[in-house]
Amino acid sequence: MYTNRRAHFEYELLERFEAGIALTGSEVKSVRAGGVDFRDAFARVTGGNVELEGLYIPPYKEASYNNHEPRRTRRLLLNREEITKISRALTQKGLTLVPVRLYVKGGRFKVEVAVARGKKLHDKRRADQEREARREMREA
């Protein structure tokens, strides 16, 4: 449904996890209407829970006084083994947890998060060159 295209460019994605996300009613309607922005989104493990911060879900126009905060912290729903695996991975230097996709599965919203390592500038340039070479081969 929504993908974080910058995550593939900015990070080397090492391991992916599928998590549920706790949303309010107006957030669900707003996500279905469109306009989700991953620009400043990241996840972190705090107190045994995984929380998604910085994900922008615009306010729902038809909601009344009961509307949600657009960039509020949202809880991700993972089982205990996955949370410990993620927290162990994040103790390594240079690794972070980034959201990759937001989608609907079986009527429920899911977020795909990945343990990732930031790319250096020369890695990004190499990825651009490879993408350009693949595009030229397809055209030829």
- What is the pLDDT confidence band of residue 98, given thresholds at 50, 70 and 90? very high
Integer Cα distance of 123 and 100 in angstroms? 19
Its pTM stands at: 0.83
Quote the percentage of the chain above a pLDDT of 70.
Answer: 100
How many beta carbons lie within 10 A of that of residue 79, not counting itself?
A: 10
Lowest mean pLDDT: which of 3-7, 12-16, 119-123, 136-140?
119-123
Helix, strand counts (H, E) of the chain? 4, 7
Query: What confidence tens digit (pLDDT) does each residue in 107-117 have?
Result: 999 999 999 99
Which residue range is the domain that position 58 belongs to?
2-139
Q: Which pLDDT belongs to residue 14? A: 94
Local structure of 62: helix, strand or coil: coil
Rg (CA), the chain: 17
**Is the C-alpha dihedral spanning 124, 121, 18, 35 positive or negative?**
negative
Q: Which pLDDT belongs to residue 19? A: 96
Q: Rounded to 5 degrees, what angle do the CA atoms 36, 134, 1 make?
A: 20
Q: How many domains does the chain have?
A: 1
Kindly tell me if the per-residue pLDDT of 97 is higher than 80: yes
CATH code for the domain of 115: 2.40.280.10
